[in-house]
Amino acid sequence: MANAPLMPKATAVWLVDNTSLSFAQIAEFCHLHELEVKAIADGDAAQGIRGIDPISNGQLTRDEVEKGEANASYRLRLIESKVKLPEVKRRAGPRYTPVSRRHDRPNAILWLIRNHSELKDAQIMRLVGTTKTTIQSIRDRTHWNTSSLSPLDPVTLGLCSQMDLDLEVNKAARNAPPRPETAEEGQSLLPTEVTTAGQSEPFADFGRRETRPQEEAIDVDSVFAKLKNLPREDDADDEEER
């Protein structure tokens, strides 16, 4: 980790026990979370870790500590080492997997095959430290324990880090050939000018209020004259009595 002490948690333990620096100052100097430093002070974290003095090993000066104790907003500065360590190169080939984790490799391979089908066999071999024969047997469902396999995230299992997984996935995505555009993916909504052009008469007149001819004026006298000519019930009863 750049610009951080060699052993951050051990350094934080020593600073908590031997200085009056705030949790925020210790967390920023050690590149830890402030709640984690508080847990160290409460004894809930870093139990059994022996504190390392950053002053004696040349990573921090006494003046820096005193400045930080006098001003809570002061940020401690790490002393740059004059010794240049060589860059550790990653060993080529499959990753070494501890014996206690080797039984989880088939589950991790199945997870990678299902969730990241773009990964090549060589990339899966680098991530979980397996062989091409094992990967092919899981792809073909000819593995001796196929019925009992369940996909599990290799990062959760501790077989690889999230950074390594993201690196391989991004590399596979860059090298993957462009996918041909299908008819369904190429479809899009047509503009309004196209959809509204050349409409038929029913749709073109849709929404318009239909005009009706003006109704004729009603003659009241003719209506009452017709009502007078209708037979009444009283006249019908008189005829029956006769």
Q: Are residues 61 and 114 in the same domain?
A: no
Residue-level length of the chain: 242
Q: Is residue 218 part of a domain?
A: no
Domain end: 24, 50, 70, which one? Answer: 70
CA 74 to chain centre: 36
Domain end: 159, 175, 191, which one? Answer: 175
Domain end: 175, 192, 213, which one? Answer: 175
Residue 218, φ and ψ in degrees, nearest 5:
-85, 130
Q: Are residues 157 and 115 in the same domain?
A: yes
- The total number of structural domains that make up the chain: 2
Buried b (16+ CB within 10 A) or exposed e, 74-106: eebebeeeeeeeeeeeeeeebeebeeeeeebbb
Q: Is residue 205 part of a domain?
A: no
CA 92, CA 90: separation in Å to the nearest integer?
Answer: 6
**Tens-level pLDDT at each residue, the chain (242 residues):** 457 787 888 899 999 999 999 999 999 999 889 898 998 888 888 777 888 899 888 888 899 899 999 998 899 888 876 656 565 555 555 556 666 667 888 999 999 999 988 899 999 998 888 889 999 999 999 999 889 999 999 888 888 888 888 888 888 888 766 655 544 445 555 555 555 655 555 545 544 555 455 445 566 677 667 666 666 655 555 555 55
Q: Are residues 103 and 60 in the same domain?
A: no
Domain span including residue 49:
8-70
